[in-house]
Amino acid sequence: MALAQAPLLEIDQLEVEFRTETGPIVPVRGVSLRVDAGRTTALVGESGSGKSVTSLAIMGLLPRPFGRVLAGSIRFSRRNGEVVDLATVPPRGMRAFRGSEIAMIFQEPMTSLNPVLTIGEQIAEQVRLHLRLGREAAKSRAVDMLGLVEIPDARRRADEYPHQMSGGMRQRVMIALAMSCSPRLLIADEPTTALDVTIQAEILALIDRLRRENDMGVLFITHNLGVVAEIADVVTVMYAGEVVETAGVRDLFHHPRHPYTRALISCLPEHALRGEDGRRVVQAIPGSVAGSLDAPGCKFAPRCVHAVDACQAAHPQLDAVEPTHFVRCDRWRAL
Amino acid sequence: MAGPMNEAPLVEMRALTKHFGRPPMLVHAVENVSFSVNRGEVVGLVGESGSGKSTIGRLILRAIDVTSGSIVFDGTPIEAMSQRALRPLRRRMQMVFQDPYASLNPRLRVSDIIGEAIDAHGLARGAARAARIAELLNIVGLEAGHAGRFPHEFSGGQRQRIGIARALAVEPDLIIADEPVSALDVSVQAQVLNLLQDLRLRFGMAMLFISHDLDVIRLICDRIVVLYLGRIMEIGPAESVCGSPAHPYTQALLAAVPRPDPDRPRIRRMLHGEIPSPLSPPSGCVFRTRCPYALEACASAVPPLRDLGDGRVIACVRDDIEFDVPV
Ligand SMILES: Nc1ncnc2c1ncn2[C@@H]1O[C@H](COP(=O)(O)OP(=O)(O)OP(=O)(O)O)[C@@H](O)[C@H]1O
Ligand SMILES: Nc1ncnc2c1ncn2[C@@H]1O[C@H](COP(=O)(O)OP(=O)(O)O)[C@@H](O)[C@H]1O
Ligand code: SF4
Ligand SMILES: [Mg+2]
Ligand SMILES: [Mg+2]
């Protein structure tokens, strides 16, 4: 691709360190990924793999003073065309991005909403901050925002408090807050994990519609491969702090290259095999991620059915299978 | 399905109803629910949050009292039994919980967590007790040498195995498992699902398996009971309910489950609107406010359970619906 547009977000070799009582840990040590305008990149991985830490690093929200970016870059294309490395922007400087160019929604909206303000007031406040609107204009913009996220009877619901709403409605409010300043990048950290499936389907459709209509890039964090297939254009799989595979969504499901990605797809209940005794055997991955963190070679080697001695020794680099498909496994050609 | 048809069910619920609080804050948690679990059978209770799944589990265990209706365990009505009279039955029903972190006492060693259950029913002492604990750890795939460790030294999946060992310690006839794999990562969830199936084959106990995850339910259960707002929508064999749902709610629930298949048409939104409050459930069919097939008649009377043959029962007045959306 000649003259390709700069990606909206491009993370390269990100490493994050936390200082803890028992010494420093590096929960993110090899994250490279990109999000393009108008497209959704899904970041998948099991609990503790470093998905949320990655998103906090992008937002400049790593807990200070214990967390910091050790190495790597987080390049972001601003609305004015300038490309900045968010990893080097000082905390005060991040305020220019957060909420205006980059917005984030979380799994549990209640913790990010103010319990003593009506949802209309909260959105109006946000809008006034960023768009410098007057009181009345902000209030009516807030009602519009609630309509945008398909909250029925928006004028009346604007006067409700967060606790009066269901989990699904609160997540819509969070999305309205995030959208109120037309961000170029939306980071969604497991926004539907706490919701029932029928409500989840609605929220996924909503996020997808907003992405399309606003040409917004979405980094969608989830551990659910069903959700990935539903919403992603590109998928980045993490294991124990590292990206192990990145591919287009069809490619990833049809031609997974990394043994971990393959195992993750195979272990879903719907891919269970019918045993002779009537059992439906799920193809579990032996062991747990706990044994992987300190592995010197490939982090997945302790659980990998394809591992050979070399895998325990040398740490594999991300290798290009195709220009848009990367895998961190030295044996991918042989498998 | 296990057990000959003429054998009495292990546990049978008849018109089970549970209300919490009092008007105007009366919660209709479980309303007129009837179903049974046969010996050796795994029955799944599925429904969205607040549909009454956990409440039914707690009612059977008599952790809470029924508002009305009856629970017959192995031929004996237990809904009004004193806690004292219940003691011998307690041993025959065991619970496995969702949260492997919260359900184990952090100050007890694994040997004491499992040993407590053994002691409570006086099942073994001394060397026999220690041997039994080692055996149980073995059965659930943990090392006997781990008996001296504390819960925090184990991963989530391992803690869930400890919870299962504790339940197995008393050789129960019925295990009530409330979202036992919901807190686990898929790779670990798979291990626990395999373990539960092994145990069932090996010991033949019955299970009431509570989950909001239809894929998991379909995998592990013989029959499924689908709940919505405290009421039964559909009952039937797992494969037929999931393969060709007969009730509009079951259909919608299945259609909403995201599938790991990128070629499937994306985002089929079927249902609109919120789940109504259990404080004021809709009249007639409780699903009618979100049902795409609702008629005026659906508001007037609660649809009675209708037998479709093939072991299937649904609560829907319409028998003319052709579902056009593939599951
Ligand atoms: N403030 C912190 N201090 C120390 N360690 C932390 C901190 N926040 C996260 N970690 C550790 O970093 C690792 C990655 O955590 P992270 O929250 O990114 O996981 P995740 O992939 O989002 O998992 P989940 O699916 O459970 O949300 C974990 O081992 C976690 O314990
Ligand atoms: N102790 C209680 N007091 C009041 N309401 C309760 C209590 N326990 C459960 N409920 C209510 O009963 C309904 C069913 O709850 P539950 O059985 O926990 O649902 P599920 O397990 O299907 O998510 C919900 O509306 C819930 O809020
Ligand atoms: S009774 Fe009416 S509202 Fe209820 S499920 Fe059937 S068609 Fe829908
Ligand atoms: Mg997280
Ligand atoms: Mg529950």
Domain edges within chain A: 1-101+183-335, 112-181
Residue A264 binned pLDDT confidence (cut-offs 50, 70, 90): very high
Instruction: Give the total number of structural domains in chain B.
Output: 1
Which of B48, B197, B215 is the closest to A198 by Cβ? B48
Q: Measure A92 CA to nearest chain B CA, in Å.
A: 37
Q: For ligand 4, a single-atom ion, which residues have Cβ within 5 Å? A: A 52
In DSSP terms, A220 is beta-bridged to A42, A188
Query: Considering the domain boundaries, does residue B158 fall inside one?
Result: yes
Q: What is the number of the ligand 2 atom nearest to the C-alpha of B52?
A: 17
Q: With contact defined as beta carbons under 8 Å apart, do B17 and B68 qualify?
A: yes
What span, in angstroms and rounded, lies between the C-alpha atoms of A296 and B5? 58
Residue B2 binned pLDDT confidence (cut-offs 50, 70, 90): very low
B284 Cβ closer than 6 Å to some ligand 3 atom? no
Query: In the predicted model, is pLDDT for residue B179 greater than 60?
Result: yes
B50 Cβ closer than 6 Å to some ligand 2 atom? yes
Average pLDDT value over all residues in chain B: 91
Cβ–Cβ below 8 Å for B269 and A200:
no
Task: Please give the pLDDT value at position B324.
Answer: 59
- Give the residue, out of A21, A26, A28, A49, with the most ligand 1 atoms within 8 A of its beta carbon, to mutate for a pocket test: A49
- Give the residue, out of A14, A29, A53, with the most ligand 1 atoms within 8 A of its beta carbon, to mutate for a pocket test: A53
Rounded average pLDDT over A72-93: 93
Task: Please give the pLDDT value at position A273.
Answer: 86
Query: In the predicted model, is pLDDT for residue A170 greater than 60?
Result: yes
Secondary structure (DSSP) of A192-241 = TTTS-HHHHHHHHHHHHHHHHHHT-EEEEEES-HHHHHHH-SEEEEEETT
**Could you tell me how far CA A241 lies from the centroid of its own chain?**
14
B248 Cβ closer than 6 Å to some ligand 3 atom? yes
| Paired tokens of A63 | 């807990």
Report pLDDT digits (tens) over B57-109: 999 999 999 999 999 999 999 999 999 999 889 899 999 988 777 889 999 99
B52 Cβ closer than 6 Å to some ligand 2 atom? yes
Which of A291, A197, A116 is CA-nearest to residue B249?
A197
Residue type, A55: S
Cβ–Cβ below 8 Å for A284 and B212:
no
Q: In this structure, what DSSP letter does residue A98 have?
A: B
Report pLDDT digits (tens) over A266-280: 999 989 888 777 788
B69 Cβ closer than 6 Å to some ligand 3 atom? no
Task: Please give the pLDDT value at position A320.
Answer: 96
Ligand nearest to the CA of B302: 3
Query: In the predicted model, is pLDDT for residue B15 greater than 50?
Result: yes
- Give the residue, out of B226, B232, B295, with the most ligand 3 atoms within 8 A of its beta carbon, to mutate for a pocket test: B295
Query: In the predicted model, is pLDDT for residue A236 greater than 90?
Result: yes
Chain A residues lying within 8 Å of B220, measured CB to CB: 280
Residues at CB less than 6 angstroms from ligand 1: A 18, 20, 25, 27, 45, 47-53, 63, 66-67, 223
For residue B24, say if its preceding peptide bond is cis, omega within 30 degrees of 0.
yes
Which of A258, A185, A255 is CA-nearest to residue A219?
A185
Percentage of chain A surpassing pLDDT 90? 71
* Nearest residue in B to A291, CA atom: B155
Q: With contact defined as beta carbons under 8 Å apart, do B24 and B15 qualify?
A: no
Percentage of chain B surpassing pLDDT 90? 74
Residue B154 binned pLDDT confidence (cut-offs 50, 70, 90): confident
Query: In the predicted model, is pLDDT for residue A98 greater than 90?
Result: no
Q: With contact defined as beta carbons under 8 Å apart, do A230 and B267 qualify?
A: yes
Query: In the predicted model, is pLDDT for residue A306 greater than 70?
Result: yes
Residue B325 binned pLDDT confidence (cut-offs 50, 70, 90): low
Cβ–Cβ below 8 Å for A197 and B201:
no
Percentage of chain A surpassing pLDDT 70? 99
Q: Measure A269 CA to nearest chain B CA, in Å.
A: 6
Task: Please give the pLDDT value at position A2.
Answer: 40
Task: Please give the pLDDT value at position A114.
Answer: 92
Query: Considering the domain boundaries, does residue B50 fall inside one?
Result: no
Query: Considering the domain boundaries, does residue B123 fall inside one?
Result: yes
* A-B contacts (CB, under 8 Å): 138
Q: What is the number of the ligand 3 atom nearest to the C-alpha of B295?
A: 2
Rounded average pLDDT over A194-203: 91
Task: Please give the pLDDT value at position A65.
Answer: 87
- pTM, two decimal places: 0.90
- Neighbouring CB atoms inside 10 A of A257's CB total 23
Q: With contact defined as beta carbons under 8 Å apart, do B31 and B231 qualify?
A: yes
Q: With contact defined as beta carbons under 8 Å apart, do A28 and A62 qualify?
A: no
Residue type, B14: R
Q: How far is CA A163 from CA A115, A117, B224, B239, in A?
A: 7, 10, 33, 39
What span, in angstroms and rounded, lies between the C-alpha atoms of B316 and B302? 9
Query: In the predicted model, is pLDDT for residue B268 greater than 80?
Result: no
Cβ–Cβ below 8 Å for B275 and A204:
no
Chain B residues lying within 8 Å of A169, measured CB to CB: 274
Ligand 5: centre distance to CA B80 (Å): 24
Task: Please give the pLDDT value at position B102.
Answer: 82
Cβ–Cβ below 8 Å for B258 and A285:
no
Q: Measure A151 CA to nearest chain B CA, in Å.
A: 9
The protein residue whose alpha carbon is closest to atom 7 in ligand 3 is B294
Higher-confidence position of B5 and B179: B179
B303 Cβ closer than 6 Å to some ligand 3 atom? yes
B221 Cβ closer than 6 Å to some ligand 3 atom? no
Query: In the predicted model, is pLDDT for residue B326 greater than 60?
Result: no
CB-facing half-sphere around the CA of B219: CA atoms within 13 A: 28
SS3 of B202, please? helix
Cβ–Cβ below 8 Å for A281 and B194:
yes
What span, in angstroms and rounded, lies between the C-alpha atoms of A89 and A76? 11
Ligand 5: centre distance to CA B50 (Å): 7
Task: Please give the pLDDT value at position A1.
Answer: 41
How long is chain B? 327
SS3 of A79, please? coil
Rounded average pLDDT over B7-19: 96
Contacts of A56 (CB under 8 A, 6+ apart): A62, A63, A67
Provide the CATH number for the domain formed by A1-101+183-335 in this structure: 3.40.50.300
Cβ–Cβ below 8 Å for B186 and A290:
no
Rounded average pLDDT over B263-283: 83
Query: In the predicted model, is pLDDT for residue A17 greater than 90?
Result: yes
What is the pairing mode between strands A9-20 and A23-35? antiparallel
- Give the residue, out of B17, B18, B20, B48, with the most ligand 2 atoms within 8 A of its beta carbon, to mutate for a pocket test: B20
Task: Please give the pLDDT value at position A4.
Answer: 55
Quick one: CA dihedral B80, B83, B85, B89, positive or negative? Answer: positive
Ligand nearest to the CA of A196: 2
Contacts of A67 (CB under 8 A, 6+ apart): A16, A17, A18, A19, A53, A56
Q: How far is CA A9 from CA A38, A88, A179, A236, in A?
A: 12, 15, 18, 14
Chain B residues lying within 8 Å of A230, measured CB to CB: 258-259, 266-267
Residues of the domain holding B152: 106-170
Rounded average pLDDT over B224-246: 96
Query: Considering the domain boundaries, does residue B80 fall inside one?
Result: no
Rounded average pLDDT over A305-329: 94
The protein residue whose alpha carbon is closest to atom 5 in ligand 2 is B20
Q: How far is CA B208 from CA B1, B42, B47, B63, B94, in A?
A: 14, 6, 14, 16, 10
Ligand 4: centre distance to CA A52 (Å): 4
Q: With contact defined as beta carbons under 8 Å apart, do B174 and B93 qualify?
A: yes
Chain B residues lying within 8 Å of A227, measured CB to CB: 258
Cβ–Cβ below 8 Å for B262 and A229:
yes
Task: Please give the pLDDT value at position A231.
Answer: 96
Secondary structure (DSSP) of A101-147 = TEEEE-S-GGGGS-TTS-HHHHHHHHHHHHH---HHHHHHHHHHHHH
What span, in angstroms and rounded, lies between the C-alpha atoms of A313 and A275? 37
What span, in angstroms and rounded, lies between the C-alpha atoms of B227 and B287? 10
Which of B186, B202, B191 is CA-nearest to residue B139?
B202
Average pLDDT value over all residues in chain A: 91
Task: Please give the pLDDT value at position B3.
Answer: 45
Query: In the predicted model, is pLDDT for residue B5 greater than 80?
Result: no
Which of A168, A197, A288 is the closest to B188 by Cβ? A288
Percentage of chain B surpassing pLDDT 70? 96
Query: In the predicted model, is pLDDT for residue B1 greater than 50?
Result: no
The protein residue whose alpha carbon is closest to atom 5 in ligand 3 is B316
Strand order from edge to edge, sheet including B76-77:
B27-37, B11-20, B68-73, B76-77
SS3 of B272, please? coil
